[in-house]
């Protein structure tokens, strides 16, 4: 599935920020603290644990997770 800039994400300071539309279509919370997470208000017991270890200090978790899954730097 190809991501569509503006619909699924936008770039901010060279980093990808996923939209609520994309995150909702994904179907679950990744636990990375995404800015537009539609699952933020769900009880913690219903949210899955983060899939990756601690992100790099200078990048937010959502940028690290996207880059590691899509082979980007």
CB atoms within 10 A of CB 19: 19
Tens of pLDDT, residues 19-67: 999 999 988 888 888 999 998 777 554 555 545 444 445 555 555 555 5
Using 50, 70 and 90 to split pLDDT, how confident is the model at 70? Answer: low
Strand partners of residue 17: 10
* CA separation for the pair 73, 71 (Å, rounded): 7
- pTM tops 0.85: no
Q: Is 7 helix (H, G, I), strand (E, B) or coil?
A: coil
Q: For residues 1 and 33, which has the higher predicted lDDT (pLDDT)?
A: 33
In this prediction, residue 40 carries a pLDDT of 79
18 phi, psi to nearest 5 deg = -75, 140
10: enclosing H helix or E strand:
strand 9-12
Using 50, 70 and 90 to split pLDDT, how confident is the model at 13? Answer: very high
């Amino acid at each position: 599935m190809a991501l569509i800039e503006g619909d699924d994400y936008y770039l901010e300071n060279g980093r990808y920020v996923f939209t609520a539309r994309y995150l909702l279509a994904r179907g679950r919370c990744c636990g990375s603290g995404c800015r537009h997470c539609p699952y933020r208000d769900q009880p913690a017991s219903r949210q899955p644990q983060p899939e990756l270890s601690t992100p790099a200090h200078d990048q937010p978790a959502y940028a690290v997770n996207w880059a590691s899954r899509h082979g980007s730097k």
